[in-house]
Structure 1
Amino acid sequence: MAERILENSRTAKLIIAGCTAALIGPPNSGKSTLLNYLAGRQKAIVTDIKGTTRDWIEAVCRIESLSLRLIDTAGLDEKLPAPKDTVEKAAQKKSVQILEQAELVLLVLDNNQTNDRLDERLLGKITKKKIITVLNKCDLPAEFDTGKLPEILSNTVQISAKDGTGIENLLEKIRQICGVADFGLKTSVVFTSRQENLL
């Protein structure tokens, strides 16, 4: 009972303060397209050129009672960029910092690409996060094998950020994983450290 109240309290604080969600994944997987779709306007430049996003871009959208701060990061390459590309290195370093601070991770993968684009080093940085694996470009032939995904990435949803297919399913998953789907006016919560200690 006490643990449930504490969990409800964390959810209440998330609703009040908002949730920061980092959009991460390989370059050109559709992170910027997804951010633009959720924001309802173009915030990030979208092209087929790998590494278009070199700085972080953010937008805020609302999912019923939850305010979601979306941060589109520079694509984290499987291999570090060449030492001479200092701009790209700085962008990737900033992406890692954003990732560490986020409450929620939206790992955007290209459903039209094979699993070998999934960076194992990246997984080590998100093991303790709330994660939704977003398989983007579901309007194209599927090449990605979800059966090979590690357990921590098993919470998947297929979408097309280009035409909006599956977006409602993604939003519902976000509400569920953030704990707001079942949160109501009669939910028991505590707000102060003293109240938490009494439990």
Structure 2
Amino acid sequence: MSKATTLAKALQNWEAEHPGESFVDAVEIKLCFQFPPIERLETTVLTQLSKCERLSISSNAIDKLVNFPPMKTLTRLSLGRNMIKRLTGLEEIAGNLRELWLSYNMIEKLEGLSGCLKLNTFFISNNRIKAWEELDKIKELPELENVVFTGNPFYGSLGDEAKYYVLKKLPNAKNIDGIIVTGAHTSRAEKLPDAFPAPVK
């Protein structure tokens, strides 16, 4: 059985693919599809990415997040297609994140995001969110406009109708599941009953 690729080794691989560049000075780093995959994030290694603005570690085998160190330049974090179960440890980077990509994981709760006051884009399709009430945890984020929730259990059999329920929960959204919100969408969402579909068991 292949041993997992460490984050440090993945960064060495990145430097080998980018001759003359150092990951310490890189603004954008992509560590996707490592083989064998990355299974763990290491705080001590992340600390070295002091200039990184866009970090992608998608399509690996990470099952949990660490307490991210202060990464003041980081605005986009992509961890899609992993095995992450809980949203934790984002406190130190929450204040500067503008994009968070977490589709195709195993997340059930939208916790740990209250400090993401600059978050504009949040993609979390194909996870395990079961209740519409989870959206209440992010409805106060002032700049959140672009969201994707398709493929989560709480959509049930609503199909395209789901976007109206999302809009009722997140009235400031401008783009839901790839669909640009219009005045007609808003009017219809406002007429929905206050009772939302029951959580999935």
Structure 2 length as normaliser, TM-score?
0.30
Larger proportion of helix: 1
Larger proportion of strand: 1
Q: Which of structures 1 and 2 has the larger relative contact order (alpha carbons within 8 angstroms, sep 6+)?
A: 1
Structure 1 length as normaliser, TM-score?
0.31
